[in-house]
């Protein structure tokens, strides 16, 4: 479709480039903004120039979620263009975390069995990643807060906002119903099964979000949509979203069996279970593996009779034969 084109923006992360989507018209819109790096902004500007467009022309930046590879440049783009920024009502445009949040996450990781030395190294890596989010936050008066069921005007007509938590609690997809297009961020990816990231909600006493269970609910909702094409946050377009959703569900079942086998082999803490399933990882890999392990424990509790003592230190896992 001539009014929609992909801008593939480099990131400093192992996942590789992130997609931003330009919706062309009298009031151009950008869906996702890329990381806040000189390279990413240069590629964005060059891609627009090749289409006869300038970054300063964008009138709205619409974010699928607040991870920095998708939202890091939103503040800089808004500053240069005067565009409004639209994101989930709970989304954040800064990586800065309160001391209370940092302490809560560190304590949870420790109770999962992650060694203190690895926690310290993870925070060091995390602090370095703060450099890929624009340092000047967007003023709240320039932000539109969205929730599922809202509609946003776009060059494609109304976009229906779909709340799709799972990969992140603030994740949104945007449906151009008339065109049969879904802008799906990291909820559907052609070559990767999205990782359910660990999240402790600072507005709910740092209660943990059950990310995998939320993701499965999001997939069930998307499976009901009549889609012609899905535009993801990374990688190629998805011409058959229903088939990819079925593939993701099959992957979850397969991965669940891996966790059942590892728990049956004696892994009794989330960290031990993560190591049994994923093996040795670098610091980021350890965090992602532990995130996924914690998420699958919710599923194992619900479906397989596992008992997880979440409030104990350390967290203990027990499984029942079925």
Which CATH code for domain 4-94+131-247?
Answer: 3.60.15.10
Looking at every residue in the chain, the average pLDDT score rounds to: 91
> How is residue 38 written in tokens?
């000189």
Q: What does the alpha-carbon distance between residue 209 and residue 198 come to, in Å, rounded to a whole number?
A: 7
Q: Shortest CA distance to 33 belongs to which of 24, 45, 25, 50?
A: 45
pLDDT score of 202: 86
DSSP for 172-187, written as a single string: EEEEETTTTEEEEETT
pLDDT (tens digit per residue) in 199-235? 998 888 889 989 999 999 999 999 999 999 999 999 9
Q: Would you say residue 292 has pLDDT above 90? A: yes
Q: pLDDT value at position 296? A: 97
User: What is the SS3 assignment for 219?
Assistant: helix
256 close to 296: Cβ distance less than 8 angstroms = yes
Note the helical H segments in the chain.
Answer: 38-49, 68-71, 74-81, 99-111, 116-129, 211-223, 241-264, 270-278, 283-304
Predicted structure pTM score = 0.93
Higher model confidence: residue 195 or residue 260? 260
Q: Which of 16-30, 118-132, 194-208 has the lowest mean pLDDT?
A: 118-132
Evaluate if residue 170 carries a pLDDT over 60.
Answer: yes
- Dist. CA 93–CA 67, nearest whole Å: 9
Dist. CA 144–CA 107, nearest whole Å: 34
- pLDDT value, residue 320: 63
Please determine, for residue 128, whether its predicted confidence score (pLDDT) is greater than 80. no
pLDDT tier for residue 138 given thresholds of 50, 70 and 90: confident
pLDDT over threshold 90, residue 127: no
Give yes or no for a contact between 44 and 7, defined as CB atoms under 8 angstroms apart.
Answer: yes
Q: What is the pLDDT of residue 282?
A: 84
Q: What local confidence, expressed as pLDDT, does residue 5 receive?
A: 95
Q: How confident is the model at residue 136 (pLDDT cuts 50, 70, 90)?
A: low
Position 70 pLDDT exceeds 90: yes
Q: What is the 3-state secondary structure (H, E, C) of 47-68?
A: HHHCCCCCHHHCCEEECCCCCH
Q: How far apart are the first and last CA of the chain?
A: 51
Given this model, what pLDDT does residue 124 score? 75
Sequence spans of domains, the chain: 4-94+131-247, 99-128+256-318
In Å, the largest CA–CA distance within the chain is: 63
pLDDT band at 237 (very low <50, low <70, confident <90, very high): very high
How many residues in total does the chain contain? 322
pLDDT at residue 321 is higher than 60: no
- pLDDT at residue 52 greater than cutoff 60: yes
């Amino acid at each position: 479709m001539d009014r929609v084109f992909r801008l593939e923006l480099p990131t400093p992360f192992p996942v590789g480039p992130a997609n931003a989507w330009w919706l062309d018209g009298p009031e151009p819109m950008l869906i996702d903004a890329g990381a806040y790096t000189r390279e990413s902004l240069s590629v964005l500007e060059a891609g627009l120039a090749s289409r006869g467009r300038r970054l300063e022309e964008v009138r709205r930046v619409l974010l699928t979620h607040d991870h920095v590879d998708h939202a890091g440049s939103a503040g800089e783009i808004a500053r240069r263009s005067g565009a409004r920024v639209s994101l989930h009502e709970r989304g954040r445009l800064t990586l800065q975390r309160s001391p209370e949040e940092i302490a809560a996450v560190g304590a949870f990781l420790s109770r999962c069995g992650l060694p203190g030395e690895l926690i310290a190294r993870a925070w060091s890596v995390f602090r370095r990643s703060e450099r890929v989010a624009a340092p000047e936050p967007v003023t709240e008066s320039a932000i539109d807060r969205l929730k599922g069921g809202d509609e946003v005007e776009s060059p494609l007509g109304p976009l229906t906002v779909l709340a799709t938590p799972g990969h992140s609690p603030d994740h949104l997809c945007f449906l151009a119903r008339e065109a049969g297009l879904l802008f799906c961020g990291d909820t559907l990816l052609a070559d990767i099964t999205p990782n359910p990231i660990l999240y402790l909600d600072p507005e709910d006493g740092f209660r943990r979000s059950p990310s995998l269970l939320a993701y499965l609910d999001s997939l069930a909702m998307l499976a009901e949509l009549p889609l012609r094409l899905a535009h993801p946050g990374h990688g190629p377009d998805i011409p058959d979203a229903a088939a990819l959703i079925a593939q993701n569900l099959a992957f979850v079942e397969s991965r669940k069996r891996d966790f059942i086998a590892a728990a049956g082999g004696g892994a009794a803490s989330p960290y031990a279970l993560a190591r049994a399933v994923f093996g040795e990882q670098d610091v980021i890999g350890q965090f992602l593996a532990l995130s996924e392990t914690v998420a699958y424990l919710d599923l194992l509790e619900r479906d397989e009779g596992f008992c997880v003592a979440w409030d104990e230190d350390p967290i203990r896992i027990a499984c029942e034969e079925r």
